[in-house]
Structure 1
């Protein structure tokens, strides 16, 4: 809906769509592939001067002298064009050579416009229905930035956004582990894992190689009836849950379980470092069951899952 914010009316989605026209992601320009244009119907919802509806620029940009003379800057197309005639409303009559030249070009450019008995709308060539969708644009960006052999993270609605971001950071080895902090110049008393003190603490060790993490993954694998649910790193985990099984609903469930397990292990590590609270693997595995059950129960559409059945096996009720 159009919104007023201490000034003229601003259509938030319209402004957002205009930004897509010249957007660049890192060094990859997607403006050659994506076009968001204004499709004109009755012309009642499109501004004559300020919207880009004819040509590559707005009429304000193409005819600045005429825009200065315009009395109502936010007028609609239907206010200025009616039955093939131009209904101008100038502050003063154009007199200079430049003004008369712009007026002639402007009149010739818009005189051929004919309204259609449909509502004005934005049209995007990314989607088959012509409607701009953020998720479609996100998919295009991911594929354009994808390196050969790279595994894309499946952003699941059932998983909280902060957990999705956590998995993304883990895949990139960007978690604030002891090794990562040391590389950034932060002095620590020890770079060993605070839980086992056997290896340097990095993302892979904390989430997968530490005895605590290995035991938790073993418990979770037994609960899911998936033997040897162990991973070498976060990228391998993401690849596994993306390709596992043939049922999409079960695949989403396993994705939530694995993401929740990694998050719970990291949270237990932080609790030990900052609160000196040590959580045993069986209790941590039970915590994974509870957390993921809450996600799926309240974030999945038409979910009739029961806690007792969930504790027995997360897949027998799918």
Structure 2
């Protein structure tokens, strides 16, 4: 049984990590969150020590080390802009880090983490669970087979992800681009990673519109031309999907890929792979981190070129 710590246990994604730790027959010994609404711990690890101040959590981790009871892994579910710092904290304490996406906000952060990883001997793992989705694995196999027959094939893709968020979003750290990285990072990073995983390295990127509640652009990969649109504005969701408050669509060469289901246990699968030494490390995350960095620092060009049809609605 491996001992875990977790940073950001009060956050939205933390329950998936708690479940994964339990499902892999391991234990959580300590948790940190500045907010104390963490009753979720009672359902998984009620005996875990809990801290609301980083300094006390730091002292506790150090005390465990001196008692030869070090945690083997620290799961990081904190706000995006703190990932880099919290990964460094884990490595300095000899613990492996399991970090939510985005791993970091800037590609040069990966270089720094790589150095500390070498010095510490511990490993950094990133949760890139869409790569483990059965439908995505099947699609990747299909594309690889088609590319063997036609190595120069370029796929035309339309990516649409619309998920409603209330006014709270803009008050929280997620609404602050310096902390979250913006819409493309918050809700788009795992889609960009998944598409690169299947269709190859990025070749070209442009942004058509960029607003606090939506973004649209064009991304060219080795084997794909992608028009993408991401939004947290409920008015952008088609009427028939308003009740679900989410619309997710990937159309490849006029054929829609269905992957709405099958997400439930992907964090547990990720943890199993990590514990077997088969997870996704620093370099696996580099491409998607570069993409979101470039998108965030690109000046929108407006409705010119090959843009997603919803970009026009985004400007209304």
Higher-Rg structure is: 1
Q: Which structure features the higher share of helix residues?
A: 1
- Judge same fold: TM > 0.5, yes or no: no
Q: Which has the higher contact order (CA 8 A, sep 6+)?
A: 2
Q: TM-score, normalised by structure 2?
A: 0.23
